Amino acid sequence: MTHRRALIGGLAGGLLWARLASRAQTPGKVYRIGWLSGTPYAGSIAQEAFVDGMRERGWVAGANFTVENLYSEGRDERLPALAAELARRKVDLIVCPGSPSTAAAKNATTTVPIVFYFVGDPVGSGFVASLARPGGNITGLGGLSLATQSKHLELLREVAPKASRIAMFVNPDLHAQLRAEIEPAARRLGVTLRPIELRSPDAIDAAFATAARERADALLVFGQPGLYAHSARLARMALERRLPTVTPLEEATREGALMSYGSRIIDDVRRVPYFVDRILKGAKPSELPVEQPTRFYLTINLKTARALGLTVPQSLLLRANEVIG
């Protein structure tokens, strides 16, 4: 009998918790979440991760929240108009992957809460006052370690020690501080960096053409949201031009780039529901500290290394989270 009472009590407690979780939001309200991105949300791994994370916090897609996605098809110049449209729709919150969409949303509204992720330098970009106290209507996940950029260069030199003239694909609007941090490392390693502007996927062909004219013998590709959908193209072109390439884009390494090192964007997406849940339940974005990546992954494509005639040191292979080929 005691066991039966305990079981009934446990079941009742579980049902009570579920009811409390489902009622933590305003009863009957369906919250509208804007998703401002470069590529479609529907059918993406971001959608799956976000919906799963929201479900874990008592939110059910279609029942008590919906997502309204406006995307720029990789053209950042379209983002300000899309952000203004979401503000006009009076959505309850806007999620922004990357710096361009975050900047557009921040300029479009000072009242709608904004949650960003995959932003390299939230403070330097002017999105937040500080990581601990964001201020305003915005918070999220970002602030990649600047030392990560130097790490890319060090990894490249481990595998391609003869590389001395290194092309660097950068977006001047996003990577000014990162460039400033990596240049001392280049001097220390005795290599010459050749910055090449790459603001959007439309400029990929031109960037590689410039790298060829500069006679680069290796390549660094800085991360930016619009490039994720073009990872295979980046990897193919780098291999065709026999450029050992290091990037934070893990997808590019899976497609044939030499190496990647950095956080995984999916880790950020899985954490976004924490911020959304807190804000929709009444927390102020200004009071939710920005969170930084805590895990970094090294992926090496051995098949590509062999195709380029490079030998990956055993010590580096042992440090890798994943070795392909």
What residue ranges in 38-157 does DSSP mark as E strands? Answer: 65-71, 93-97, 114-119, 138-142
DSSP one-letter string for 165-210: EEEEEE-TTT-HHHHHHHHHHHHHHT-EEEEEE--SGGGHHHHHHH
CA proximity to 166, closest of 144, 135, 187, 137:
187
More confident of the two residues 146 and 79: 79
> Residues 105-134: pLDDT tens digits?
999 999 999 999 988 779 878 999 999 999
Distance CA 62, CA 60 (A): 6
For residue 258, is pLDDT > 60? yes
CB within 8 A of 108, min separation 6: which ones? 80, 83, 84, 86, 87
Rg of the chain, C-alpha, whole Å: 22
Q: What is the pLDDT of residues 177-225, one digit of tens each?
A: 667 778 888 888 899 999 999 988 889 999 999 999 999 999 999 877 6
Q: pLDDT-derived band of residue 94, with 50, 70 and 90 as boundaries?
A: very high
Q: 3-state SS string over 237-258?
A: HHHHCCCCEEECCHHHHHHCCC
Q: State yes or no: pLDDT of 25 exceeds 60.
A: no
Element housing 264 (H / E) = none
10-19, 174-183, 309-318: least confident range: 10-19
pLDDT tens for each residue of 38-72: 889 999 999 999 999 999 999 999 999 999 999 99
Fold of the 147-262+296-324 domain: Rossmann fold (3.40.50)
- pLDDT at position 196: 94
> What pLDDT band is residue 27 in, cutting at 50, 70 and 90?
low
**16 vs 319, higher pLDDT:** 319
pLDDT tens digits for range 160-186: 999 999 999 988 876 766 677 788 888
Averaged over 88-97, what is the pLDDT?
97
First to last CA, the chain: 60
27-144+265-287 CATH: 3.40.50.2300
For the chain, the structural domain boundaries read 27-144+265-287, 147-262+296-324
Position 7 pLDDT exceeds 60: no
Fold equal for 27-144+265-287 and 147-262+296-324: yes
Residue range 141-150: mean pLDDT, rounded: 71
pLDDT at 4 over 80: no
Judge whether residue 90 has pLDDT over 80.
yes
